[in-house]
Amino acid sequence: MDPSSENERRSYVRITYPPQSGAVMHVGSDRLHVADISQCGIRVFRTATGPAVSRVAATLHLLCGTSIEVKAELEWQEEKEAGYSLSAFLPAGLIERELRYVTLHFD
């Protein structure tokens, strides 16, 4: 991703996963499929019909084999998706490792 692109407002690399093939975020007993991820945020596919949880403590399981505890706050929600901002940035090296994995296995 080129952060200087006219169409892209994000300043961090964003990894977009193929549908139902990406990372998973466990929030309590709920398992949420990750649509995309960056160092500072996560977009998940929602399975519940009610409002999304406003603050979560979760375990993020990445495809590269790493799991990490995260805390996040709800930024927006739609019927089938929700966007969370992370309370602490994910390490850049972890994002790079995950991007390499996704590029090698899905492109």
Query: What residue ranges do the domains of the chain occupy?
Result: 15-102
Q: What is the pLDDT of residues 3-41, one digit of tens each?
A: 444 455 667 899 999 888 999 999 988 899 999 999 999
Q: Write down the pLDDT at residue 82.
A: 95
Return the CATH number of the domain spanning residue range 15-102.
2.40.10.220
User: Per-residue DSSP letters for 73-103?
Assistant: EEEEE-SSEEEEEESSPPPHHHHHHHHHHHH
pTM: 0.85
Instruction: Give the pLDDT confidence of 35-71 residue by residue, as tens digits.
Output: 999 999 999 998 877 788 899 999 999 999 999 999 9
Asked if 56 and 31 count as a contact pair (C-beta separation under 8 A), the reply is no
Instruction: Return the exposure string of 59-82: e unless at least 16 CB atoms fall within 10 Å of the residue's CB, then b.
Output: ebbbbbeeeeebebeeeebeeeeb
